[in-house]
């Protein structure tokens, strides 16, 4: 198995990739790693047979427009996706520009023949021990009901293959649980989901109930999906900041904070995005995992694990067969 890393265009530089690769290869010995980045920043791996460095000095910035993305043919992202398309590598992890990754992936890798649009699938924790698959989290700002229906099918199959959920329950994110709720898009999507015997569809779910463990797959349009997830992230950060300020506000509250420290750390760890390995660009002919632009080594490590599981389980080929 040859797993490739786009080690440029992220917020935290190359060291997070160095650390992540060391952790990953310590735990997995059936993998060769191919790194696309500045060769001089990965000299510590020069004598390792299971690591190859593809020297790249051009990368796509977060501010590059579509024209720049297409013109930068020597960028690390362009090279890595070309090699993926030509079967030189088996899968890709990138923490670079999301927009550029979407554009180049669709252009170079192509989508599964039965899928109209790929989307971003995130694995999200719930209040129970189970996680749920959330899609689309922002790949498509203009989405049709047919697209949402296909997202649900892909999410269900992914949940079965990667997380071994025998009968995944699917819900549609909406402004109310009643059948007739929502705009035209969500009403049409509801009917498509409800009338598909391949899905175990439980109806609508509101944003406040997303984390109660009732769903294995939650689908929505990319615009709503991105806004909802970012609002949740912001609320979580706000709540922890307020809690931290309250704990340090007096001697008595500091003592209480020390008593609760272990519990608070457990809660924070459960909500930590780095545990869940980034988002999968699902619907492509090849596996691509998008890590957060500000990922630390732990997040990159978990993104590599996620990609490893996807490849080892032959997820893409099973997805293609099931969708037909």
pLDDT digits (tens, 9 = 90+) for 150-205: 999 999 999 999 999 999 999 999 998 888 888 899 999 999 999 999 999 999 99
Task: Clarify whether residues 136 and 262 are in a common domain.
Answer: yes
Q: Does the pLDDT at position 245 exceed 90?
A: no
Dist CA 221 CA 147 (whole Å) = 8
Instruction: Give the chain's domain count.
Output: 2
Cα→Cα distances 291→6, 9, 137, 191, Å: 10, 11, 13, 33
pLDDT at 272: 58
300 and 262 share one domain: no
Range of the domain at 58: 1-115+283-324
Least trusted range by pLDDT, from 67-81, 145-159, 167-181, 277-291: 67-81
Nearest to 204 by CA among 5, 196, 215, 264: 215
Rounded (10°) CA dihedral 32, 306, 35, 100: 150
* Stronger pLDDT, 324 or 187, i.e. the higher one: 187
Checking if the pLDDT of 268 tops 70, the result is no
How far is it, in rounded angstroms, from Cα 236 to Cα 245? 14
So what's the pLDDT on residue 260? 62
- Are residues 107 and 128 part of one domain? no
Beta strands at 119-125 and 131-135: parallel, antiparallel or unpaired = antiparallel
pLDDT at 301 over 70: yes
pLDDT at 93 (0 to 100): 95
Q: Domain check: are 193 and 241 in the same one? A: yes
Q: Which of 86-95, 203-212, 294-303 has the highest mean pLDDT?
A: 86-95
| Same domain as 294, residue 262 | no
Whole-number pLDDT of residue 313: 93
Determine the pLDDT at residue 52: 94
Of the candidates 44, 32, 39, the residue with the CA atom closest to the CA atom of residue 7: 39
Based on the fold, state whether residues 4 and 67 are members of the same structural domain: yes
Q: What is the mean pLDDT of the chain?
A: 87
Same domain? 128 vs 268: yes
pLDDT at site 21? 93
Write the CATH number for 40.
3.40.718.10
- pLDDT beyond 60 at 273: no
Residues 108-128, mean pLDDT to the nearest whole number: 88
Nearest Cα residue to 137 out of 116, 154, 120: 120
Task: For residues 132 and 147, state if they share a domain.
Answer: yes
Taking each continuous run of H as one helix and of E as one strand, the counts in the chain are 10, 11
Tell me: do 149 and 244 sit in the same domain. Answer: yes
Mean pLDDT: which of 77-91, 212-226, 265-279 is highest? Answer: 77-91
Per-residue pLDDT band for 125 (boundaries 50, 70, 90) equals: confident
Residue 316 has pLDDT above 70, yes or no: yes
pLDDT of residue 190: 95
Q: How many Å apart are CA 277 and CA 304, to the nearest integer?
A: 7
Q: How far apart are CA 254 and CA 277, in angstroms?
A: 34
Higher pLDDT, 28 or 248: 28
Looking at the structure, do residues 179 and 42 belong to the same domain, yes or no? no
Give residue 63's pLDDT.
73
pLDDT over 70 (residue 265): no
Strands in 18-101 per DSSP E: 32-37, 51-55, 91-94
Please check the confidence at residue 274 and state whether its pLDDT lies above 60: no
pTM above 0.75, yes or no: yes
Please give the pLDDT value at position 218.
95
Whether residue 183 sits in one domain with residue 67 = no
Residues 189 and 210 in one domain: yes
Question: Residue 193: its pLDDT value, please?
Answer: 96
Region 260-276: mean pLDDT is 60
């Amino acid at each position: 198995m040859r797993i490739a890393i786009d080690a440029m265009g992220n917020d935290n530089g190359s060291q997070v990739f160095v650390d992540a690769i060391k952790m990953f290869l310590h735990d997995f010995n059936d993998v060769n790693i191919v790194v696309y980045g500045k060769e001089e920043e990965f000299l510590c791996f020069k004598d390792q047979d299971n690591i190859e460095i593809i020297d790249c000095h051009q990368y796509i910035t977060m501010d590059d427009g579509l024209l720049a993305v297409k013109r930068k043919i020597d960028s690390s992202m362009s090279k890595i996706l070309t090699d993926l398309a030509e079967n030189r590598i088996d899968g890709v992890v990138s923490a670079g520009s999301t927009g550029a990754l979407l554009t180049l992936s669709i252009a170079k890798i192509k989508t599964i023949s039965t899928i109209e649009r790929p989307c971003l699938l995130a694995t999200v924790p719930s209040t129970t021990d189970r996680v749920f698959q959330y899609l689309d989290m922002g790949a498509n700002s203009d989405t049709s009901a047919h697209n949402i229906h296909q997202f649900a099918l892909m999410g269900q199959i992914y949940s079965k293959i990667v997380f071994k959920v025998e009968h995944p329950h699917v819900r549609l994110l909406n402004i109310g649980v009643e059948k007739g709720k929502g705009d035209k898009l969500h009403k049409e999507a509801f009917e498509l989901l409800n009338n598909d015997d391949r899905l175990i569809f439980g109806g609508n779910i509101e944003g406040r109930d997303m984390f109660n463990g009732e769903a294995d797959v939650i689908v929505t349009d990319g615009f709503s999906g991105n806004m909802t997830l970012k609002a949740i992230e912001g609320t979580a950060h706000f709540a922890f900041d307020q809690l931290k300020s309250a704990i340090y506000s007096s001697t008595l509250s500091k003592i209480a904070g020390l008593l609760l420290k272990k519990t608070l750390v457990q809660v924070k760890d459960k909500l930590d995005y780095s545990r869940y390995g980034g988002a999968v660009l699902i619907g492509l002919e090849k596996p691509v995992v998008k890590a957060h632009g500000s990922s630390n080594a732990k997040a990159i490590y978990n993104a590599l694990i996620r990609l490893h599981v996807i490849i080892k389980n032959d997820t893409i080929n099973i997805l293609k067969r099931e969708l037909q």
